[in-house]
Chain A
Amino acid sequence: MTDLKLVVQRFDPFRDAKPRMMEYPIPRREGMTVLDALLHARDYLDHSIALRFSCRQASCGSCGMKINGRPRLACYTQLAELGGEKVVVQPMDNFAIIKDLVTDLESFFAKHTEMMPYLIRADKEEMEHPSAEYLMKPQELEKVLQFTYCIKCGLCTSSCPTVATDSVFPGPQALAQAYRYAMDPRDEGGEKRLELLDGAHGVWRCHFAGSCSYVCPKGVDPALGIQLLKRHVMSGKVPHKEGAKVFTPPVPQK
């Protein structure tokens, strides 16, 4: 097997005026991922390459980067699927670079938090200390299920053309999560979330390019969630909810 040319964008904002590309020869092996190639380069060729990773199984969302021009997870991208002799790795767009392939996700998580990504109950005491289980119907779960698969890797946000120009726009990840919680029958804070999104830099700044859904490694369709969210923001209310049924599990008999 021929060596792979791994081209990595290097940039240290404290030392470099602009990013530069560095090439590393990597011996290929079967089943090798881009993350494996990067770790080989870092372990054996250049210890100074900075990258973020953790689970190596597309669960943690840490290793998001631009691979051959497309936002992907490095651990979830096989070299075999890319083809060719050269792989170009760059940090995700729309985020400030901390160093090399490591981007600053602080604003990304701040926008996620702004959407109140948790169940809100009118009864505060009940919210903090639930007295029983709240059941969902399978049909209700179906509406929001795919959005619960989000691993917050930031790939959707890095591919969004609106985020590229509008720094206040929440981005596809945060908006999809707003939809996920607003549609949850156990949640009573839907109107509050919709109010938050009905501004000059809210949900209406999505122009449905669809790139967020295209790049999502978990098969989530944020663009769909955002369009459905627009419908509810326009009407000013979340769809009629029957209200979650409280279920008190039986006390186990000794």
Chain B
Amino acid sequence: MKESRLMLVQYVTAVAAVVLVSFHLVMQGVIYPYTTAISYDNILSVYRNGFYAIFLEALLVVVLVHGFNGVRIILQEIKQSKPWTTWVDVGTVVAIMITVAYGTRTLVLAVFGGSA
């Protein structure tokens, strides 16, 4: 993928992360008091709420893509060689896939009644 496309992804996920994280903080810090928000029962009920589960999955993907793409950019500036570039690019995709899969697993287990 061209670097301009990856940077477009970076900018879009940055804006999306600000919107989603703001909404999340308002919901979990202002509308619900923080101490209630982090209680186990409340977290489970949030996970099992369809709208919020989709919202959390979106937040997970957006933040991880933005974060790992940012790390990729930093790593590309540290060292310059074709193998390094390839390893960093492949490593970034793998890291995003693993972390998104792990986060999604937590949500899925909670939604379907397993122990999250």
Contact = CB atoms under 8 A, between A and B. Distances in A.
Interface residues of A, number: 16
A103 to B, nearest CB: 20
Find the residue from B8, B77, B78, B80 having the highest chain A CB count within 10 A.
Answer: B77
A165 B79 CA distance: 8
A245 interface: no
A233 B4 contact: yes
A205 B77 CA distance: 8
Contacts of A202: 3
B78 A165 contact: yes
Contacts of B78: 165
A201 B8 contact: no
Interface residues on B, range: 10 to 19
Contacts of A205: 73, 76-77
Contact of B3 (A165, A169, A204, A236): A204
B7 A165 contact: no
A173 interface: no
A205 B73 CA distance: 8
B3 A168 contact: no
Interface in B69-107: 73, 76-78, 80, 85
Nearest to A232: B4
B76 A236 contact: no
Contact of B7 (A162, A166, A201, A204): A204
Given A200-B85, A234-B8, A167 B80 contact: yes
A198 B85 CA distance: 15
B4 A236 contact: yes
Contact of B2 (A162, A166, A169, A198): A198
A150 B2 CA distance: 30
A169 B8 CA distance: 20
Given A198-B3, A204-B73, 7 more contacts: A165-B77, A167-B80, A202-B3, A204-B4, A205-B73, A205-B77, A234-B8
The 3 A-B residue pairs whose C-beta atoms are closest, nearest first, are A168-B80, A166-B77, A234-B4
